[in-house]
Amino acid sequence: MAGLLSGLEQFGLSNLESMDLYEAPKKAEAGPDGAPAAPVVQEQDFLFDKSFNCPICDKEFKARTVKIGKAKLGGSDLDLRPRYEQIDLLKYDIIMCPYCGYAALSRFFKFLTSPQAKNIQKAISSTFKPQKETKETYTYDEALERYKLTLANAIVKQAKSSEKAYICLKTAWLLRGKAEHLDTTQPDYEEQKKACQEEEDEFLRNALEGFLAARQTENFPMCGMDEPTVDYLIAVTAMRFEQYDLTSRLITGILTSTGANPRMKDKARDVKEMLMKKIKEKNAARK
């Protein structure tokens, strides 16, 4: 199976493809008839070029950005992946400097310490191949490359576990979107779909590991999320990998929490019902 950072060679960063996502803990330290036809809305209609100044190389560049309020939310998956109509906003949540290779989720782009900047300059910018940003839209594969570069930046700058976990989560969501948009008429459709699902699982496992670590060492809010939301994400992801005890414990905590809003508690009740059904099915299969 390809690694989390496979594909970075196109940026001149093949040496970073084998980096470990999370450091080993130190022992000493603790998503009507006849009426005129409606205009065809295209993906680029939701986007515009926004200017940014890179905190690493100080150069100005433009990045494709979603127009505020333009996209309409159509719902969300069980793990809170947002689903927007006519566009997948996840493809445009990465800001990447085409000159030095610094990349981050939009919420983290401006926030760098001096040591972090030096680490990125040394490990990424020194060998990065400048890119031409001329595309009106990104394919899922192009967006995936940007997410992997972002994860490489996060590892190099020694970002918090929560940030790395959040990147992994959003990358998994992106892969889910890619799988949903595969051409079903292609002879290798099933093979492509399976590859997407396997890679999604790999990123979700790493997201789970990172959020569990962050929950023990970081304060809330975490990546803009409160404690019930993070616990819900952990619970749902753990249930996907049959870690039912962890899911049960966290869902119970949400349902008894005074800090969880009614909407989150409703979602937790739905997960509890699903969990009970899965446990029942698993026990039945053992007999």
What is the C-alpha to C-alpha distance for residues 30 and 208, in angstroms, rounded to an integer?
Answer: 19
Of 200, 256, 205, give the one whose Cα is nearest residue 2: 200
Domain residue ranges of the chain, discontinuous segments joined by +: 226-287
What is the C-alpha to C-alpha distance for residues 236 and 13, in angstroms, rounded to an integer?
Answer: 34
pLDDT the model gives residue 31: 47
Please say whether the dihedral angle defined by the alpha carbons of residues 147, 151, 156 and 158, taken in this order, is positive or negative: positive
Torsions phi, psi for 222 (to 5 deg): -125, 115
pLDDT the model gives residue 25: 60
Of 281, 204, 261, 203, give the one whose Cα is nearest residue 235: 204
What is the C-alpha to C-alpha distance for residues 180 and 177, in angstroms, rounded to an integer?
Answer: 5
Q: Are 199 and 107 in contact (CB under 8 A)?
A: no
Torsions phi, psi for 134 (to 5 deg): -120, 0
Residues 6+ apart with CB under 8 A from 103: 94, 95, 96, 97, 146, 149, 150, 153
Tens-level pLDDT at each residue, the chain (287 residues): 667 888 888 788 888 877 888 876 655 444 455 555 556 789 999 999 999 999 999 999 999 999 988 999 999 999 999 999 999 999 999 999 999 999 999 999 999 999 999 999 999 999 999 998 788 999 999 999 999 999 999 999 999 999 999 999 999 999 999 999 999 999 999 999 999 999 999 999 999 999 999 999 999 999 999 999 999 999 999 999 999 999 999 999 999 999 999 999 999 999 999 999 999 998 888 87
pLDDT the model gives residue 173: 98
What is the C-alpha to C-alpha distance for residues 197 and 50, in angstroms, rounded to an integer?
Answer: 33
Tokens of 274: 């699903």
* Count, residues in the chain: 287
